Amino acid sequence: MSLSKKALDMLEYNGYSFKQKDVQILFRKAGTDRVGLIIVMIVSLVFIVLIFALQWWAGLIAMVIAFLIFRPLVKRIPGRLKLVIDSNKKTVEIDDRTQSYSFDQVSGVYNHSKFVDEYSSAFKSTSEEHQITIGFELENKQLVSLFKLISDHAKPSKEMNEVYTFLEGIIQGGKSQQ
C-alpha cells in the first residue's frame, strides 16, 4: 500500500516528504517556511530599531504594523513534524518519540476543514483558503494533528482523502493482524 504520485505531489506542495521502507513509513515536515519567516522578522526588527533610534513614535508605529503583519503569518505555519509508523511494532511515533502510541490507542483517523482567509487570484478556482487538518483520534477522544494542508475548498481533495485513507488503512490493518 502506497500513495499515488498526485498525493505525494500534494504533500510536497504543503512541505511534507514521504518515505516508505519495508515496515516503516516516514513523513517529515520541512522547516524552510519557518526559517524564511524568522529571517524576514529579524531584518524587520533591525529596521524597527533603526526607526526607533530616529523617532520613538515612528518606531512604535512600525512595531505595531509589523506585529499586525507577522502575527497571522506565524499562526499559519504548522511547524515541524516527524511521523514514523512502524507496522511490525504497531506503533506511531511523533517527533522522535516525543509522543508514541500503539495502534490500539488510535481509535481512528480524522480530517477537519477550517476557513482561513479570502484572497484574489487568477490561478485558483475559488477566492477562499481552507486549512485541512488530518490526524489521529485516540481512544480517550484526544485529537493528534498530523498534517495541515492548504486547500481552495472546504472539502478535502482526492489527494487529501487518499492520505486519510492510507493512514486509516495502516492503522486498521495493523489492528486486524493482532
What is the structure's pLDDT at 48? 93
Residue 114 has pLDDT above 80, yes or no: yes
Residues 23 and 56 in one domain: no
Cα four-point dihedral sign 143, 146, 148, 149: negative
Write out the DSSP string of 61-83: HHHHHHHHHHHHHHHH----EEE
Q: At residue 49, what is the residue type?
A: V
Encode pLDDT of 5-28 as tens digits: 999 999 988 888 899 888 899 998
Residues 98 and 153 in one domain: yes
Residues 11 and 85 in one domain: yes
At which of 20, 51, 76 does a domain end? 76
At which of 18, 41, 76 does a domain end? 76
Higher pLDDT, 155 or 34: 155
Residues 61 and 89 in one domain: no
Residues 57 and 135 in one domain: no
Mean pLDDT over residues 132-139, rounded? Answer: 93
- The b/e string for 60-69 (b: 16+ C-beta within 10 A; e otherwise) is eebbeeeeee
Instruction: Return the CATH number at 90.
Output: 2.30.29
What is the C-alpha separation between 138 and 109, in angstroms, rounded?
Answer: 9
What is the C-alpha separation between 2 and 67, in angstroms, rounded?
Answer: 43
Residues 63 and 124 in one domain: no
What is the structure's pLDDT at 80? 65
Mean pLDDT over residues 102-107, rounded? Answer: 91
Residues 109 and 43 in one domain: no
Residues 56 and 89 in one domain: no
Give me the number of domains the chain comprises. Answer: 2
Mean pLDDT over residues 88-93, rounded? Answer: 90
Residue 120 has pLDDT above 60, yes or no: yes
Residues 53 and 92 in one domain: no
3-state SS string for 123-173: CCCCCEEEEEEEEEEECCCCEEEEEEEEECCCCCCHHHHHHHHHHHHHHHH
% of the chain exceeding 70 in pLDDT: 88
Mean pLDDT over residues 145-149, rounded? Answer: 89
Residues 141 and 169 in one domain: yes
At which of 43, 61, 76 does a domain end? 76
Helix count (H) and strand count (E) of the chain? 4, 8
Mean pLDDT over residues 61-76, rounded? Answer: 85
Range of the domain at 40: 33-76
Residues 157 and 84 in one domain: yes
What is the structure's pLDDT at 175? 75
Residues 90 and 39 in one domain: no
